[in-house]
Structure 1
Amino acid sequence: MKASKAVRWAASLPMLLLLILTTTGCTEKFVVLDPKGPIAEQQRDLIIISTVLTSIVIVPVLILTAIIIWRYRDRKGRKAKYTPGWEHSTKLEVIWWGIPIVIITILAIITVKGTYALEPSKPLVSDKKPMTIQVTSLDWKWLFQYPEQGIATVNYVKFPEDVPIRFEITADSPMNSFWIPQLGGQMYAMSGMAMTLYLQADEQGAYWGSGANFTGKDFTKMYFDVHAAPQDEFEQWVSEVKASSPVLTLDGYKRLSEPAASDIRTFSAFPEGLFEMTVTKYASSHNHGLSWEDIQKVQIEE
């Protein structure tokens, strides 16, 4: 019997270790802990500080739990002192209530300061002018519009390094969550709303972005490529897109917004005010939203 228990314990430990590794993502790189921008750096610091502070309570509790289970287990010759009449210890009460209260207070202060410092719509401090990119979540793809450059892309976004990027985010589909892990946290994309998120890449490179909400059959394909490049390379890319890509029309956008996954696509132009039309289409429940016929009429009148 003792041998069989030992065998079961020996077999369960590797399985437990494998489960921990697979569920925590240890088999892949921790991109959240490898920030490439000022927002992601501050968020990483908050994660590390919070983990260390909570470990002050969690680690001793886990260790003591194992010790208590082992020391007071039912076995012959057990010498652990049994005191069923014990009910109070001021010293222990102060320890197991005082330490958590102090830690929670410190966490609260850090969290409040971090929340205000990392307000998503707060412009980043920089001597460079922010660049605006309008993001629309579709089923099951991402549309990026560059109002200053006059181009649009699908599932691919490119911008200059060291330049604050003002993402204006909405949805023409079920609610999703816009996320570039190495640049910053998530921001919800919701129909009828235009959310603002400031991010910046401190160095050039290729990053990964995705939708972080379940939105149906092909939600796992809602990822996009992110590329931070030198200013001259970005401008050259814009020129190439303008010269070699088709125009995104209203009819083309209507087809694009139909539920389906998509590869990377580029457009040399898009209807003026398309992002605003998408937002206002869902902005009111009193029949003030624009239908496709209304949008086309507005476009013709302009």
Structure 2
Amino acid sequence: MNILDPQGPIGAADKTILIDSIAIMLAIVLPTIVAIFAFAFWFRQSNPRAHYRPDWAHSGRIELVVWSIPALTVILLGGVAWIGAHLLDPAAPVEGTGSPVRIQVVSLDWKWLFIYPDQRVATVNTLTVPVGAPLQFELTSASVMNAFYVPQLGSMIYTMNGMVTRLNLRADQEGDLQGLSAHFSGDGFPDMLFDVHVISPLAFPDWVKTTRSDQVLNAESYQELARQSVEKSRPTFRLDDPGLFGAIATQKIPPAPGPKITSEGAQSYLGASDVR
């Protein structure tokens, strides 16, 4: 999950913003550190050239330095973040090779459900995508608010019950990556990791064929899957109802209750009252 080793254009842009922001902030940090040692050295007791000024109260030149440099830094840092945020709009299309792949993501307690409506398959805690293809994610939550994040692909985005967020990504190299939940959601939160397999476009149709299992994903089996649990295996399904994601997002299928009260007067960080 090395964010400094991006595997797609969005991740590479995120890396650039991160490095630029650190460099800009160092414009304050480094001079401040140097000034601390310089002042301590100059005003040491053994320096006869250092003048003791008990009545000194104000210096316009010092005020100019201590206010102008931070102000310019904040302006520059804000400009980099503002421009970068607009250029990396999660809903903006990302160009790629081949046909786009549409993936519907549902965050559950405590697992991830990935639905491929065009391929009529679904997986749990495993995301498989073809290299170079535009990836069009539609995301929602079946319970409390969560956050979908593949660090090497970039653009963490929240999933919320009763609404759909959109994210466009692209993976530029074949290999295995790691995804995670970036928002605390209860006891099973540490296990909300998912594998990301980037394969060749020619291998993707074969993967779809092997993924179509005898297990069927429909409204009934989904409600069983949505029960609060940590999924250690990586089950696959044949999608029976291509409108399942819409039913989840519009709450035609009732949302899960979320984390329960574990002791009297105490509730998990995100409780049932946080379900939207």
CA shift in 2, pair 1:44/1:208, >3 Å: same
Which stretch of structure 1 is more off in the superposition, 226-235 or 145-154? 226-235
In structure 2, the residue matched to 1:145 is 115
In structure 2, C-alpha distance between the alignment counterparts of 1:291 and 1:58, rounded to whole Å: 51
Q: Which residue of 1 aligns with 2:229?
A: 260
Greater Cα offset, 120-129 or 158-167: 120-129
Per-residue deviation at 1:246?
1.8
- Choose the corresponding residue for 2:142, options 172, 188, 204: 172
* Pair 1:84-2:51 in alignment: no
Provide the residue aligned with 1:207 in structure 2: 177
8 Å Cα contact 2:104/2:245 also seen in 1: yes
Q: State the shift of 1:160 in Å.
A: 0.4
Q: Counterpart amino acid of 2:162?
A: G
Matched, 1:246 2:215: yes
> 4+ residue stretches of structure 1 with deviation over 6 A?
none
1:220-239, aligned counterparts within 5 Å? 220-239=190-209
How far did residue 290 of structure 1 move?
5.0
Q: Secondary structure at the match of 2:245?
A: helix
Cα distance in 2 for residues equivalent to 1:39 and 1:291:
34
| Corresponding residue of 1:299 | none
One-letter code of the match for 1:260?
S
Contact 1:166–1:196 at 8 Å: present in 2 too? Answer: yes
Which structure is higher in helix share? 1
Secondary structure in 2 matching 1:31 = coil
Query: Equivalents in 2 of 1:234, 1:81: separation in Å?
Result: 76
Contact 1:152 1:270 in 2 (8 A): no
Alignment partner, residue 6 of structure 2: 35
Distance 2:234 2:37 in 1: 53
2:100–2:134 CA contact under 8 A, matched in 1: yes
TM-score (norm 1): 0.78
Structure 2: gaps (5+ residues): 256-276
Q: How does 1:97-176 map to 2 (within 5 A)?
A: 97-126=67-96, 128-176=98-146
Alignment deviations for residues 244-272 of structure 1 (CA, whole Å, 9 cap, x no partner): 44212322111110000102111122323
Report which structure shows greater RCO (CA 8 Å, sep ≥6): 2
Question: Where in structure 1 are there 5+ consecutive unaligned residues?
Answer: 1-29, 282-288, 293-302
Query: SS at 1:188's partner residue?
Result: strand
Write out aligned runs for 1:53-68 (5 A).
53-68=24-39
Question: Normalising by structure 2, what TM-score?
Answer: 0.85
d(CA) in 2 for partners of 1:96, 1:291: 56
Distance 1:290 1:142 in 2: 17
Distance 2:228 2:254 in 1: 18
User: Which residue of structure 2 lines up, in the alignment, with residue 270 of structure 1?
Assistant: 240
Q: Distance in 2 between matches of 1:204 and 1:111?
A: 30
Which residue matches 2:260?
A: none
Residues 128-161 of structure 1 deviation map (CA, whole Å, 9 limit, x = unaligned): 4321100000000000000010000000000100
Deviation at 1:208, TM superposition (A): 0.4
Structure 1 stretch 64-73 or stretch 263-272: which is displaced more?
64-73
* Aligned-residue offset at 1:64: 2.2
Cα offset, 1:54, TM superposition: 0.7
Question: Partner amino acid for 2:93?
Answer: P
C-alpha displacement of 1:85? 2.0
1:135 corresponds to which letter in structure 2?
A: V
CA distance in 2, matches of 1:225, 1:290: 27
**Distance (Å, rounded) in 1 between the aligned partners of 2:140 and 2:47:** 65
- Aligned amino acid, residue 123 of structure 2: T
* C-alpha contact 2:127 2:195 (8 A) present in aligned 1: yes
Once residues 34 and 245 of structure 1 are traced to their aligned partners in structure 2, the CA distance between those partners, rounded to angstroms, is 38
The CA deviation at 1:184 is 0.7
What is the total number of aligned residue pairs between the two structures? 253
| Deviation (angstroms), 1:57 | 0.7
Q: Secondary structure at the match of 2:127?
A: strand
